[in-house]
Amino acid sequence: RGYMLDVARGRIPKVETIKSVIDFLSGLKYNELQLYFEGMCFDYSAYPEYTSDFDCLTPEDIRELDQYCADRFIDLVPNQNSFGHLAPWLGKEEFQHLGLCEEGKKGGTINPLLPESYEFVDGLYESLLPHFGSEYVNIGLDEAYGLGRYQIEEYCKKYGKGTVFMDWLNKLNTLTQEKY
């Protein structure tokens, strides 16, 4: 029995608030809690300049929550968006070239054909995943609305959107299994 808690939208919950959710879930005999990450809700060490001006969850917070969950027989699983839902990141000047979108616009889907996209996502993983004790991770590939359009439209026509999607999934799956 699992539950996903979105810690990325609206106010970022404090550790004590998340602990109260964990206590509630424990009482219901849940055995998995996924923390959902998108945008700048975590202090990503690979990109510190984007979270230095506000309170966000820290590595220490995650380790504390991970132990709190473990003490209650709950597996704390990271859920890091890695395809769609990346508009806050892709809106930053440094990363705009990674987004799938019309010329001059900002996208929310990362271009899976660029090596820099892989490096960017690996930076998110490298910052976040080591702080969780779980053997699992949800790499969040939903709502990739740019897939098959814009910069990769011709490539997708030639090879298929499904192939492009599965290639990205397999690449990230291999990364998480081998490195994390």
Local confidence pLDDT in tens for the 180 residues of the chain: 999 999 999 899 999 999 999 999 999 999 999 999 999 999 999 999 999 888 999 999 999 999 999 999 999 999 999 999 999 999 999 999 999 999 889 999 999 999 999 999 999 999 999 999 999 999 999 999 999 999 999 999 999 999 999 999 999 999 999 999
The token pair at 75 is 């597996």
Q: Crossing angle of helices 161-179/115-128, nearest 10°?
A: 40
Q: Crossing angle of helices 15-27/59-70, nearest 10°?
A: 20
Q: Determine how many CB atoms are found less than 10 A away from the CB of residue 62.
A: 23
Residue 80 CA to residue 94 CA, distance in Å, equals: 20
Residue 109 CA to residue 52 CA, distance in Å, equals: 25
Sign of CA dihedral 10, 64, 120, 138: negative
pLDDT at position 104: 87
Which residues on adjacent β-strands are paired with residue 75?
Answer: 32
In the three-class reduction of DSSP (H, G, I as helix; E, B as strand; rest coil), residue 22 is classed as helix
pLDDT at position 147: 97
Instruction: Please provide the distance, in angstroms rounded to a whole number, between the alpha carbons at the two ends of the chain.
Output: 24
Identify whether the C-beta of residue 25 lies closer than 8 Å to the C-beta of residue 35: no
Residue 2 CA to residue 79 CA, distance in Å, equals: 12
In the three-class reduction of DSSP (H, G, I as helix; E, B as strand; rest coil), residue 119 is classed as helix
State the burial class of residue 107 (Cβ atoms within 10 Å of its Cβ: 0-12, 13-18, 19+).
buried
pTM over 0.85: yes
Q: How many residues does the chain have?
A: 180
